Chains A and B, each alone.
Chain A
């Protein structure tokens, strides 16, 4: 047993958290059924309970193997209660369901503590007692067989293999050896059942053993050894006369401080990758053979070979990106619980319906879309869904419904969050926006424009600020988050019927649709998502009011103009406005003109981070590698627009640079 189990820890944690998520989903579903049945014991699908039970059971098993005793004991209590329910000895009512949910939370806390090697959450002790109290049948052996908690003076194991023990491929000797490895053991063999030599069958098992184990051995360790033979023997494990003493917490190993950023990939995806790589190798071999002793007649074969290579490369690219794809269900899964808790806080009844949870998205996007989604759900419950009495008066069902849907559309993923609440109160939004000076008093807006206002910073229509929402930070942050992922968010609403938020996201962050721009001899990439339009303007359209920053007039609008050549200090070809192109970029609701020499091409580029080897630079978000192997920088439109609208900031930034280069003495010539 000299294997270092530590390397399996992260897998255990990951699997456990997945198990917990699954338990939570099932429990919430049960609770929802209970809610529908208005407290009557609902008719559950037994598979649901089995599902929860299995999850608890594997967490118990895993934690036992790795020596996370706290988790083992806690999940054991949980498992016992679930087992009672599963075997029909106990019905699950709202109280039990709620207790189970809290226990699941606490279990998550325990796992987290084990991972970080942190302190045991305070809830553990109390909840375990509660779980135990909830088990009504005190005489049940499962409750008695829990004494791993208290320190005993040891264990006595009576091990009596069935006659046909060997037939299942087991060997008692292996088990005894495994037990011996746990610590000093005493073993008594009972050979009284040995038959006469004349009737002795060498493939039958006749011996029985009584093994005494020291107290350093936990019950689970013993259980684990017998795990595979439990049906093939009579086993009796009992503690020796016990002297109660608290077991010291024994979290065996230090997990990595940073939760390792790992990903679980379906084997089929990996197999697919291997296949493609195989094809690639074949194509490459063929090409190198072709090139060796190449004659012009073979040109068409060469072209065909290169086309094949290109196809495989594209396949490989898709497949590799596919590995990073996760179903959106990873985020959706957390929401029902959240919705339940928020609704409970606000005294509302809300049902969350989810569809399209298998829609796949890049892992990074999944991680970063979670907060905005939580925010939207919270928003819907707080502002959208009315209190039950108001709903009934309006002829709607008493409990509100929030529908979360995800689907693919034209190379994007669309996530919709729709509620059947009261809809946006446009009058009030407009009034608030005018109060805050966000909209000039004389300006007339149509309903779509008013709806857009809710994304402005500092606007909240909630009458009261509570801990759920209403602080006026929110939807603008949601929009910015989504934008930073290269997507967008829109809202549509019908008064009295509900509101729908629709989020559009790119499939992946690793690849960006970009426009390549040329300034002098340099090529830059500007993500298409930020480009509003491109124009060729006459020089008289640019003015420099009061000798300050340049401003261009575009259809009656005045936009600050950034000359990329000056900003980045490269020698541009075009200086007069009509020699180059103005690209209008839009970010955070602001626009600016970007002056470049020419537009080259629209292309997909693979993002390469500048870090860790280079520092982040203002105006640059990342880099990419062009077809010829050179590096092109990808522009950060958000930061450029900010610079354009805040020339003082831009000046300060360049002054800071001037200072530092001034700190190094001038070159000695």
Chain B
């Protein structure tokens, strides 16, 4: 289990936001910490029948049934074997809970608005919709994820399934 800590003394400019960063297949990603509810170690999930492959199943989060989404599979990255570092970042988007399986969480950073850049258009970007922006931290690329889209896209895909 990890605990998230707010960086002490970090002065926030009004348009600055805190991001939780994590690793996924060798690349760093970030999500607004406002949307992170908690971080849990990986435990067994109950698979949901007839669900997309990236939905690993559901877990009991203190009495609430929460879907667990494998971000690697969601982004069509290579499938990882889960180990001791594998964690679930539980996000809360407008009251909807979902767990995101990531390789490891790294840090909490402050990002001012001017540091965030929109992602360039390039070829073969199937998952462009999930990318909110890009930024550089210590000369390394950080991909900012639009959790809203990720979790709700989810709902859309499943609603489409139900309709089909």
- B-binding residues in A (CB < 8 A): 522, 567-570, 608-610, 612-620, 623, 625, 629-633, 652-657, 659-661, 664-669
Chain B positions within 8 Å of A656 at CB level: 161, 163-164
Counting CB contacts under 8 A, is B76 at the interface? yes
Question: Is A569 in contact with B162, judged by CB distance below 8 angstroms?
Answer: no
Minimum C-beta distance from B124 to chain A (A):
9
Question: Is A613 in contact with B50, judged by CB distance below 8 angstroms?
Answer: no
A612 to B159, CA, bound (A): 13
Counting CB contacts under 8 A, is B63 at the interface? yes
Minimum C-beta distance from B72 to chain A (A):
9
A609 to B44, CA, bound (A): 20
Question: Is B160 in contact with A616, judged by CB distance below 8 angstroms?
Answer: no
Question: Is A657 in contact with B97, judged by CB distance below 8 angstroms?
Answer: no
Minimum C-beta distance from B112 to chain A (A):
33
25 A-B pairs within 8 Å (CB atoms) are namely A522-B47, A567-B49, A570-B49, A608-B63, A610-B58, A610-B65, A613-B64, A613-B65, A613-B98, A614-B58, A615-B155, A615-B159, A616-B162, A617-B48, A620-B48, A623-B46, A630-B44, A630-B46, A630-B60, A631-B58, A652-B164, A653-B164, A664-B126, A665-B126, A667-B78
A522 to B58, CA, bound (A): 12
Minimum C-beta distance from A650 to chain B (A):
10
Chain B positions within 8 Å of A633 at CB level: 46, 48-49
A613 to B90, CA, bound (A): 12
Question: Is A615 in contact with B97, judged by CB distance below 8 angstroms?
Answer: no
**Contacts A661-B52, A667-B73 known; A631 to B158 CB distance under 8 Å?**
no
Q: A614-B65, A617-B49 are in contact. List 10 more A-B contacts (CB 8 A).
A: A567-B49, A608-B63, A614-B58, A615-B161, A617-B50, A625-B60, A630-B44, A630-B46, A631-B46, A664-B76
- Smallest Cβ-Cβ distance to A609: which chain B residue: B65
**Contacts A616-B162, A664-B76 known; A568 to B50 CB distance under 8 Å?**
yes
- From residue 19 to 49 of chain B, which have CB atoms closer than 8 A to chain A? 44-49
A201 to B19, CA, bound (A): 75
A186 to B30, CA, bound (A): 67
A639 to B48, CA, bound (A): 16
- Smallest Cβ-Cβ distance to B157: which chain A residue: A660
Minimum C-beta distance from B118 to chain A (A):
23
**Contacts A625-B63, A668-B77 known; A660 to B161 CB distance under 8 Å?**
yes
A659 to B163, CA, bound (A): 12
Question: Is B47 in contact with A570, judged by CB distance below 8 angstroms?
Answer: yes
Chain B positions within 8 Å of A668 at CB level: 76-78
- A-binding residues in B (CB < 8 A): 44-53, 57-60, 63-67, 73, 76-79, 95-98, 126, 155, 157-164
Minimum C-beta distance from A229 to chain B (A):
49
A539 to B51, CA, bound (A): 31
Minimum C-beta distance from B134 to chain A (A):
20
Chain B positions within 8 Å of A630 at CB level: 44, 46, 60
- Smallest Cβ-Cβ distance to B78: which chain A residue: A669
Chain B positions within 8 Å of A660 at CB level: 52, 157, 160-161, 164
Chain A positions within 8 Å of B59 at CB level: 631
**Contacts A623-B65, A631-B58, A655-B164 known; A612 to B96 CB distance under 8 Å?**
yes
**Contacts A612-B95, A660-B161 known; A629 to B78 CB distance under 8 Å?**
no
Question: Is B46 in contact with A522, judged by CB distance below 8 angstroms?
Answer: yes
A569 to B98, CA, bound (A): 23
**Contacts A633-B48, A667-B79 known; A613 to B164 CB distance under 8 Å?**
no
**Contacts A660-B52, A668-B76 known; A614 to B67 CB distance under 8 Å?**
yes
A567 to B97, CA, bound (A): 27
Question: Is B60 in contact with A629, judged by CB distance below 8 angstroms?
Answer: yes
Minimum C-beta distance from B125 to chain A (A):
11
Minimum C-beta distance from A253 to chain B (A):
25
**Contacts A623-B58, A659-B164, A661-B53 known; A613 to B63 CB distance under 8 Å?**
no
Minimum C-beta distance from B107 to chain A (A):
27
Chain B positions within 8 Å of A657 at CB level: 50, 161, 164
Chain A positions within 8 Å of B50 at CB level: 568-569, 617-619, 653-654, 657
- Smallest Cβ-Cβ distance to A625: which chain B residue: B60
Which of A568, A569, A616, A657 gathers most chain B CB within 10 Å? A657
Which of A610, A652, A667, A669 gathers most chain B CB within 10 Å? A667
A476 to B14, CA, bound (A): 62
